Amino acid sequence: MSTDTKEHDARLERAFANQARKRWRRIKDLLARNAIGFGGVAVILAIVLIFFYLLLIVFPLFQPAKLESGRTFTAPAGTPLLLAMEEQREVGMLATAGGEVEFFRIRDGSPIARIAVELPATPTGFGAGEDRTGIFGYGLANGQAIVVRHRYQVTFPNDKRLISPVLEYPLGEEPVEVDPQSDALRLLTLQVAEDTAAIAAITDDGRLVLANLEKQESLLGGGGWNLSSRELLPPQGDIAFLLMDKDQRELYAVTRDGHINYYDISNPADPKRVETVRALPEGSEISALHFLTGGISLLVGGTDGSIAQWFPVRDDNNEYSLKRVRGFDPLPGAVQAFAPEYNRKGFLAADDQGNLGIYHSTAGRTVLVRKVANSGISQLGVAPRADAYLALSADGLRFQRIHNEHPEISWSSLWGKVWYESHAEPEYLWQSSSADNDFEPKFSLTPLTFGTLKAAFFAMLFAVPLAIMGAIYTAYFMAPPMRQVVKPVIEIMEALPTVILGFLAGLWLAPFAEVYLPGVVMLLLALPLGVLVAAWLWRFLPGSLRRHIPDGWQAALLIPVLCLIGWGAIALSQPVELWFFGGDIRKWLTAEMGISYDQRNALVVGLAMGFAVIPTIFSIAEDAIFGVPSHLTQGSLALGATPWQTLARVVILTASPGIFSAVMIGLGRAVGETMIVLMATGNTPVMDFSIFQGMRTLSANIAVEMPESEVASTHYRILFLAGLVLFMATFVFNTLAEVVRQRLRVKYSSL
């Protein structure tokens, strides 16, 4: 074969090989492009799915309450005084003025049992304790009272649930002598605890008497109740309502024209009237009165349909006075009855036109108002689980199921100041749980959002100057060999787990900063000043010495300077604290400046979280500055600009989109950081911008409380709402960063 033929064949092989490589390259490019495109779409889809999943969990919080179609049946005979039902909504109870208690099946109104209370005299008054205790009592014409409790025994004969109603006498079957003068008891209120009981009554002649009982037990078993009775200061006006709180500490004697006589009976030996206030304006009358669950707040209903909440508020002198805390949307008619929910701060109200209202006190929310009867509702009872009600009117007894899962949620309860029970004024509070069933949940997201922004602010205050200035020096002034060492080292810092940083911040940095607080503060101030002084002194060194240090390596000389400054600041900490702050700077801050010091505070969080954010901001900003085209800097220098002028007027402006993106991405990470703030903040949801106070952030709150929250509960869904708020915050930050970056890019692209 000739040489020309061989060369021709070789050229053909090379051509075929080149074509094959080009085809394979096109295939790889296509695969890479499709893979990157698919990955981008998948990321966007995942984010959208996360967003909609959060919405799915949060959405039920804002669903309105609903009533199922109910049923009405004939009410038991007798003048009704109290209406209630047991937990399973199978058995209802109606106490009558004649001393008889009727138990009936709720499904059809058929009677179960009719039990007569053993009354030694004619009943003249009636009163009930807290609804969930089942306690009620009759006042008698001879000044005595008999106390009864309705209870329900649950058995399972033949694996079928059977609920049997029972009447008990918690103070014994013998009546209690409330009034030593044996006058008829017109109004009655009572509370029975495990070892104490109290009964207050208005007699026929207008006196207010109080009987306290204390349980006595002998060593041989048995025992009884020790009784002491006294007459209280006469209330102002003709009393129409009488109420006592469940702890037997407060007594309210209320007139129909709106005067509330407030008594402190916490000391049985010295009960006293605290004050008398007017609850309604002139021309209005009180038509219904009841305690909210817990016995702290009074629900006051007027003939004009108004509904208001009152409770005692303590002032700076530790004195209590009654305050009107909030009002609710009025009912169309005069309020006739209240029924508080057993385990949360909601209640039902009914008027004389057959309207039913569902409310929640903490949320300040009118959940639902609906006409459920053709005539006025005289008695109202709510199921212990707040999922049904019984209403008695001239039409009969009406039973209806309620769907009202999350009444605690409103804009004001989540983001506004709320006046909680036993607090002196409205506040932003987060306190999601307590061991007491009377607890009022405090679901304000405001202190958590404030804590998130506070932690991010102090972290960025520490991180941004160091990261950006370091990026500028590294990219523009530092020698390439030194940059090749410094940049990877700082970027490796980002791989350090934040749980390690949080551990070090909480267990080492926080105690260290507390012991050496003056030194830490001096260190933060002395380091930048020391660098400036060292740079100024560098100018006065002999030229021969300075020339031995290559350009771009001068920063290495600052390492011993910074170490010396750090050692000096910490060494001077205790002498400075002794000389200027009396040996205890924390005590001095509290006494002289009114600033309390929490060991795990914003200073510690700022240092630790700033350390975590610095690598992110530094890396992105350094790449942006280093990526400025060299012809721009060289052209500026060639035109006579100094390196600093070139940096300020060319490099920084050209790199500004990347620098801004670095800051916003760092801010997004600081806002969403969990482990550092979880371990180094103290997790106290307070709204105090002091650098020496802790905080609780949204992310840390989710991490702390999610494992303990009940699935699908209000608490559980609010934690997801906090996650949605974080999601939206980071979305807004990133969107804003991208918009500003694009505008900066367009503005400075002509440089």
- Taking CA atoms, 331 is separated from 148, 328, 359, in Å, by 33, 9, 11
Q: Is it the case that residue 547 has pLDDT exceeding 80?
A: no
Per-residue pLDDT, 250? 92
Q: Tokens 């057993």 appear where?
A: 342
Q: What does the alpha-carbon distance between residue 585 and residue 579 come to, in Å, rounded to a whole number?
A: 10
Pick 13 or 310 by higher pLDDT. Answer: 310
Judged by average pLDDT, the poorest of 32-46, 159-173, 218-232 is 218-232
For residues 117 and 138, is the Cβ–Cβ distance under 8 A?
yes
Per-residue pLDDT, 749? 66
Per-residue pLDDT, 751? 58
Q: What does the alpha-carbon distance between residue 225 and residue 401 come to, in Å, rounded to a whole number?
A: 41
Ranked by mean pLDDT, the top range of 374-383, 526-535, 542-551 is: 374-383
pLDDT digits (tens, 9 = 90+) for 383-435: 999 999 999 999 899 999 999 999 999 999 999 999 999 888 999 999 887 75
pLDDT bracket for residue 644 (50, 70, 90): confident
The torsion region of residue 139 among left (phi > 0), alpha (psi -120 to 50) and beta comes to beta
Judged by average pLDDT, the poorest of 13-22, 277-286, 310-319 is 13-22
Mean pLDDT of the region 124-133: 92
pLDDT bracket for residue 222 (50, 70, 90): low
Per-residue pLDDT, 122? 92
Mean pLDDT of the region 658-682: 87
Q: What are phi and psi of 431, to 5 degrees?
A: -155, 100
Extract the tokens encoding 436.
């007491």
pLDDT bracket for residue 750 (50, 70, 90): low
Extract the tokens encoding 329.
């949307």
Q: Is it the case that residue 513 has pLDDT exceeding 80?
A: yes
Which residues touch 526 (CB under 8 Å, ≥6 apart)? 565, 568, 569
Classify residue 706 by burial, with Cβ atoms within 10 Å: 0-12, 13-18, 19+.
Answer: middle
Candidates 324, 319, 371; CA nearest to 350 is: 371
Give the H or E element holding residue 261. Answer: strand 259-264
pLDDT bracket for residue 2 (50, 70, 90): low
Mean pLDDT of the region 684-693: 88
Per-residue pLDDT, 720? 95
Per-residue pLDDT, 436? 63
Candidates 686, 613, 706, 675; CA nearest to 454 is: 686
Q: Is it the case that residue 482 has pLDDT exceeding 60?
A: yes
Candidates 733, 455, 471; CA nearest to 615 is: 471
Per-residue pLDDT, 386? 92
Per-residue pLDDT, 437? 60
Mean pLDDT of the region 295-316: 92
Mean pLDDT of the region 302-308: 93
Domain positions in the chain are: 463-746
pLDDT digits (tens, 9 = 90+) for 165-177: 999 999 988 899 9
First to last CA, the chain: 63
- At residue 147's C-alpha, the angle toward residues 344 and 120, to 5°, is 155
Per-residue pLDDT, 317? 83
Extract the tokens encoding 464.
């941004």
Per-residue pLDDT, 596? 87
pLDDT bracket for residue 345 (50, 70, 90): very high
pLDDT bracket for residue 234 (50, 70, 90): confident
Classify residue 194 by burial, with Cβ atoms within 10 Å: 0-12, 13-18, 19+.
Answer: exposed
Per-residue pLDDT, 255? 93
Per-residue pLDDT, 241? 94
Mean pLDDT of the region 101-108: 91
Candidates 337, 365, 307, 292; CA nearest to 84 is: 337
pLDDT digits (tens, 9 = 90+) for 422-469: 888 999 999 887 756 667 889 999 999 999 999 999 999 999 999 999
The beta strand positions in 109-207, using DSSP E, are 111-116, 123-128, 135-140, 144-155, 162-168, 176-177, 185-192, 196-203
Mean per-residue pLDDT of the chain: 89
The CATH code that applies to domain 463-746 is 1.10.3720.10
What 3-state class would DSSP assign to 153? Answer: strand
Extract the tokens encoding 431.
């306190």
